[in-house]
Amino acid sequence: MRFTLSQSLFLAMILCLAGCGGGTTGGGSNTGGNTTVPPTPSGLTANAGDAQVSLSWVAATSATTYHVKRATVSGGPYTTVGSPSSPSFNDTGLTNGTAYFYVVSAANASGESANSAQANATPLVVTADVTITVNPSQTKPISPWIYGINSYSGIANVPHATMDRAGGNRWTAYNWENNFSNAGSDFGPYHNDTFLSSSSTPAEAVRNFIAADHTAGIASLMTVQLQGFVSADASGNVDVSQPLATRRAARFKQVVNKKGTAFTLTPSTSDANVYMDEFLWALDQKFSGQDIFGVNPTVPTFVSLDNEPELWNSTHLEVQGPTAITSDDYITKTIDLSQALKDQFPEVVIFGPVHYGFAGLYSWQGELQPTPTGMNWFPDKYLQAIKTASDTYGKPLVDVYDLHWYPEVYDSGGTRIVSMSSATLSDTQIQQIVQAPRDLWDPTWHDPNNSNPWVYQTLGSDPTKGVQILPRLQAKINAEFPAMRGIAITEYEGGGWNHIAGTIAQADMLGVFGAQGLFAASLWPPNGAYDYALAGFRAFRGFDGANADFGDTSLQATSSDVSKVAVYASHDSNMAGRVVFVAINRTKSAQITAINGVSLSGTATIYQMTGASASGQNPVHPVLVGTQAASGSSLKITLPALSVTTIEVK
């Protein structure tokens, strides 16, 4: 048969539509340029749970997304039920006793691969490994300031924090009049320089810090100088072999708490004194009309009374000398400076005493002789004195009890968990990292693998009390100075910087801070890479990759086995019926977890971080793994091994 030209062209078009161009036949076909369709995924496995199936497969080269397809008959037809970006998916809301069949394809901008080999699973009713009991009548407001970080603007891949702290050894001898500071024992040592700011404009180092925080929409915690002497020059190392009085006179200026009048934005740098009330006044002027130290600023600026005073005789030998400040002298200094600042700004929120760690908190670095259960720790002495002075003054002089917390947990080789930075950790090291946050609150916990449990031993080695440092301290505040707003941990670390254990520990600490009612907290970022720790923030802040956050009201949640699973529960005062959980699995095996006791209605959207999902991510972040219907007062979910799962119900 012969065809005309037009008939031939029409036939060619029909044939091309049937078979030209490669389509979605998979196998990495070239679809133009140098980009190829991903290969077909391999290794698909399906594991049944209660009304759900957990799927995983081998990552396909160049895939940007995967399409999970389900059928109730072997061989299909299949319906797409999810499109995750990583090689795992949790298919939920299924019917127990029904067999489900799955395939998965890989896709990118060039196209979609062929379907994988089929895998199948049959969900069945299963008994929970861990039960979480939520008591919605036991609530605490969650302070917005617990999601803080030190040096926020200097952090790569920074999560959406709520507070930024400018603190540490650098700020003890900071001179706001000229921006000179001293590194203390950190560098030089004892080096006067312009590290914080090379500007000659007074207070520029702090103004710039606060302005950057305003741009980011977060609160600031600045440091005022309580030790007594600040840098007079930027001329390098200070000779600490000279007599203390000689070097103070030659290289430093004396801090005076109260000038009272004649404030100026351009104070003389040739006189002998630097005034703290004038310092805050100058900052307030630089943010005119914003009331940064007032009652309801758009973003507040809090004030910290210096940094780690128990260690000044070593960290700041250049100005303190070898003799430690006594607890009596420190308390007197605190009262005098706080009164001067509150005379000028009555509503300023003041943090103190900014302990470096447990020994400072417990005994003022050995000066006192407290007993584990006695009302004779340093906080008892401090709180009683501050209350007496506050009663006389007419309002609280210190608003927030501030300490630093670096876990005193060590492996058998003497390595502290905050120094565990390897991507490969032993099982014991992993458990030390993920269990360590329990020292903050859990009376049943002490680490049997800790090779140097000196904190637990100092507190009497009582297995019925544990370390539980936050409840112990809060009880003292409640008894001795209840007008105080609460506790802040303005430096802390958890270890596991390049491992999912670090994500778990960080998420657990944030959950503890909310459940225990802390006023504020800020991570001290370690040297090197620590993106796994920052990921812990993302379990609570922007877990959907946008603006979805944990709720603002903590609901009491009790675990039947907190050594395995902890869950933090919240309501959202801005959206009725919205409940958010953060669930932590500390174990090496999946844990079927039942969450009971809180009324749920709507859809539970589930985001997870695991070692597998985090691998290759930059930054490490939660991935959407599925949804399931939520109704009644019980929710059951399988938590993968060593994972953090955020569940948003609305």
Sheet strands (E) in 289-445: 301-305, 350-355, 400-405
**Run of H or E residues at 552:** none
pLDDT at position 478 is 98
Beginning with the edge strand found earlier in the chain, give each strand of the sheet holding 88-92 in spatial order: 42-48, 52-58, 88-92
Mean pLDDT of 271-293: 97
Instruction: Compute the residue count for the chain.
Output: 650
Q: What is the pLDDT of residue 298?
A: 87
**Distances in Å between the alpha carbon of 321 and those of 188, 237, 246, 247, 249?**
17, 15, 11, 10, 13
Instruction: Please say if the pLDDT value at position 19 is more than 90.
Output: no
Determine the pLDDT at residue 25: 34
The whole-angstrom separation of Cα 286 and Cα 269 is 19
Mean pLDDT across 621-630 = 91
For all residues of the chain together, what is the average pLDDT? 93
Residue range 552-563: average pLDDT?
98
Report whether pLDDT(58) > 90.
yes
499-523 mean pLDDT: 98
Contacts of 243 (CB under 8 A, 6+ apart): none
In whole angstroms, give the CA distance from residue 599 to residue 272.
65
> 576-591 pLDDT, tens per residue?
999 999 999 999 999 9
User: Residue 35: pLDDT above 80?
Assistant: no
**Spatial contact of 418 and 356, defined as CB atoms under 8 Å apart:** no
Give the mean pLDDT of 38-66: 93
Mean pLDDT confidence for 181-194: 95
Mean local confidence (pLDDT), 203-225:
97
Q: Summarize the confidence of residues 182-208 as an average pLDDT.
A: 96
Residue 527 has pLDDT above 70, yes or no: yes
Q: What is the pLDDT of residue 118?
A: 98
Confidence grade of residue 645 (pLDDT, cut at 50, 70, 90): very high
Q: What pLDDT sits at residue 300?
A: 96
Task: Give the confidence band of 17 by pLDDT, cuts at 50, 70, 90.
Answer: very low
Examine the pLDDT at 57 and tell me if it is beyond 80: yes
Do residues 147 and 165 touch, judged by C-beta distance below 8 A?
Answer: no
Q: How confident is the model at residue 173 (pLDDT cuts 50, 70, 90)?
A: very high
Mean pLDDT within 416-441: 97
pLDDT at 28 over 50: no
Mean pLDDT of 161-178: 97
| 8 A C-beta contact, residue 520 and residue 148 | yes
pLDDT band for position 20 (cuts 50, 70, 90): very low
Q: What is the pLDDT of residue 238?
A: 97
| Type and span of the H or E element at 46 | strand 42-48
CB 405 within 8 A of CB 440: yes
pLDDT digits (tens, 9 = 90+) for 199-209: 999 999 999 99
User: For the segment 333-343, what is each residue's pLDDT rounded down to a tens digit?
Assistant: 999 999 999 99
Judge whether 142 and 99 are in contact, CB under 8 Å: no
Give the contacts of 382 (CB within 8 A, at least 6 positions apart).
327, 331, 334, 353
- Domains annotated on the chain, with CATH: 42-121 (2.60.40.10), 164-408 (3.20.20.80)
**pLDDT (0 to 100) of residue 52:** 85
In the prediction, which pLDDT does 604 show?
94
